[in-house]
Each structure stands twice: as C-alpha cells, then as structure tokens.
Amino acid sequence: MENKQSSSPASFIGSTVIPGDVVLDLSSMTNQTIKLGDGLREDCDAISATKAGTLRFKKPNKYRIESCQKRYVPCAGDAVLGIVVDSKRDDFLIDIKGPALAFLPVLAFEGGTRRNIPKFEVGTLLYLRVVKAKFGMNPELSCTNAHGKAAEFGPLKDGYIFETSTGLSRKLLSSPTCPVLESLCKKLCFEIAVGLNGRVWVNAASPHTIIVAANAIMNSES
C-alpha cells in the first residue's frame, strides 16, 4: 500500500486516514513547533498515523487522530474521569480506562501541602487532568488546571456515571454545543462532566432527570 504524503499540513485535516499514512512532512515545516496527540507518531522527517480515524487540528499547533473507540490512550492535557483504586503514601492510584493505572500525587491539588492531604476512599470518582503520558509509563494526573488552580477539577459526588466511546466524549465537548446536549438543556436542569477517556457523569435533583439525560446521551451514539 502506498503511503499518502503531503507537504501541506492542511491537506489531511478533516480527512480519514489509516495506519501508515504520512500526514505531515516535517522537512517542509521548518521553524515550526507542533504537538502530537493520540494516533500519531514521529518517524524521521514524517508524522504518520498509527490508527484509523479523522485527522484533527487544534490551534495553535496540536494534531491528533479522532476515532470512535472504547479503548482510551492517555494524552497530556486531556480531562478525564478517574476512579480511585488504591492509595499510597505519596500518591493515589487511579483507573482512567488506559492501558495502565495512573497516579495522582497527594500534592497535585490547589494549595496542596503535607498538612492538608486529601483522603479519598476506594471508588471515589474524580475529575482530573492528564499531566504526563508516555508509552510504557504510568500516566501522571493532577486536580488543577495548567495554572495550578482547582477550577472544575476534583471529586464528583452523587450522580450517575456511565461509559461511552471516546468519539462520543469528544463530540459532547465540542464547540458549538453538541445537539443532544443543546436539546436536553432546553428541557432539563442537570450537571454533567465529560472525560475524554469515554466516561460521563450526570447529576440532577431528580433521579428521573438523571435517567432521561443519561439514556439520551447513550442513545445518541447510535
């Protein structure tokens, strides 16, 4: 099979690619810094796809392959929903649906010190940010944004959590607002947290509202 090649970074954006396709030619992109997301790898002067999907570009310089799959591959900067599975002296072990457990340092919280280390029971649901993710290593997480602030990150109480594909998760976080969320918000009042690892949390004052919102989101995938 002949690899597709392009000297223009925009040539494949929005197009479907398959493993082995050369989507970027670095020799023609001198003095440019780019970031590689899920599904891409560097091979000498070329960036090639490692999985089938659609090539996406996020300003200012990040490329990734978007696909609809259950398996999640951690990527630095991703917001994810994680479940505490164990706690150690210096960190918590978190399940984020990746190939390996991730770790959350006990100081990775806004204003975190040894005097105010949080206590999370096994099974606690957390909204987290992936700080580091390298092949063959356990991902590192944080409960702060890039500026060290808690923002929306932290424990999620009550509500209902369910799993979707990573493709649907990205659609729910897309701009403009995903049609299913836009329609639900016109009729219902609820909270939602979406992780790029294919987990969604919904909470509302009424269990009926939670069920309707969760079912609508899950059914929207098919």
Domain boundaries for CATH 2.40.50.140 within the chain: 79-155
CATH architecture of 160-220: 2-Layer Sandwich (3.30)
Q: What is the pLDDT of residue 204?
A: 96
Q: If pLDDT is split at 50, 70 and 90, which confidence band does 9 have? A: low
CATH topology of domain 16-66: OB fold (Dihydrolipoamide Acetyltransferase, E2P) (2.40.50)
Cα distances from 145 to residues 129, 152, 153, 181, 213, in angstroms, run: 7, 8, 8, 24, 28
Q: If pLDDT is split at 50, 70 and 90, which confidence band does 2 have? A: very low
Contacts of 66 (CB under 8 A, 6+ apart): 39, 53, 54, 55, 56, 167, 170
pTM over 0.85: no
Predicted confidence (pLDDT) per residue in 109-142, tens digit: 988 777 888 889 999 999 999 999 987 889 999 9
Q: Residue 6 pLDDT > 80, yes or no?
A: no
* pLDDT (mean) for 75-84: 94
Q: What is the pLDDT of residue 3?
A: 47
Distance CA 163, CA 216 (A): 13
Q: What is the pLDDT of residue 5?
A: 46
Instruction: Reply yes or no on domain 79-155 having CATH 2.40.50.140.
Output: yes
Q: Residue 8 pLDDT > 70, yes or no?
A: no
Q: What is the pLDDT of residue 151?
A: 86
Say if residues 120 and 86 touch (Cβ distance below 8 Å): no
Tokens of 121: 């029971």
